Chains A and B, each alone.
Chain A
Amino acid sequence: AQSVTQLGSHVSVSEGALVLLRCNYSSSVPPYLFWYVQYPNQGLQLLLKYTTGATLVKGINGFEAEFKKSETSFHLTKPSAHMSDAAEYFCAVSGGQGGGFKTIFGAGTRLFVKA
């Protein structure tokens, strides 16, 4: 069975500060990992994904995430927060269902950016 835990339902940072959103996963097979962002009244948009290969993954809007197998983590970071980054962020895992797939989402972390 797979699961995702996002640490912190709310994170607040100042504009220009480092953004760090934490995600830990559980998977019995090599996982595929994703970060999505959701703005109010919109669907989810993919920020970045890890499938295989390089463990540091770069995404859109200056975000990146590092897959650490030993820590079962896939934390999302951005060096300098911008007001437009305020949104809800979801970490997700999928993998190995065979003949169909099911993506499991974390509970989400709402990011607040203070001026």
Chain B
Amino acid sequence: KAGVTQTPRYLIKTRGQQVTLSCSPISGHRSVSWYQQTPGQGLQFLFEYFSETQRNKGNFPGRFSGRQFSNSRSEMNVSTLELGDSALYLCASSLTQGDKNIQYFGAGTRLSVL
């Protein structure tokens, strides 16, 4: 069974641009979560989607948004990019929503904002 796939793996953007990252969960998984990982802040939760609905959200500005499609694939969008948005963005999927479900992570998208 294929794992969580994130595209693209690497991305370079300039300040003020917007970017869309994609995540394809493991087949059958309906929950997708997004995280931002930086050396200074560690892993920070962005949001979680389940059956196309955002069920939980972290403390990020409105420039960060996401959506989930009927096939459970998810996209994350960041508008008006800032230098501080440079990070590894990780997507994780799990079978159902729920605290004790194991999350399976993709390899991430490394975003560099110049």
Contacts and interface: CB of A to CB of B under 8 A. Distances in A.
Contact of A102 (B42, B58, B102): B58
Interface in B42-73: 42-43, 45, 48, 50, 55-56, 58
Query: Size band of the A side of the interface?
Result: 20 to 34
A49 B35 CA distance: 19
B42 A107 contact: yes
- Chain A: interface secondary structure? loop
Interface residues of B, number: 25
Interface in A75-103: 90, 94-97, 99-103
B85 to A, nearest CB: 19
Contacts of B48: 100-102
B106 A43 contact: yes
B33 interface: yes
B43 A41 contact: no
Contacts of B105: 36, 43-45
A97 B99 contact: yes
Given A44-B90, A97-B56, A32 B99 contact: yes
7 contacts: A32-B99, A44-B103, A99-B55, A100-B55, A100-B97, A104-B45, A105-B43
Interface of A: 32, 34, 36, 41-46, 49, 51, 90, 94-97, 99-108
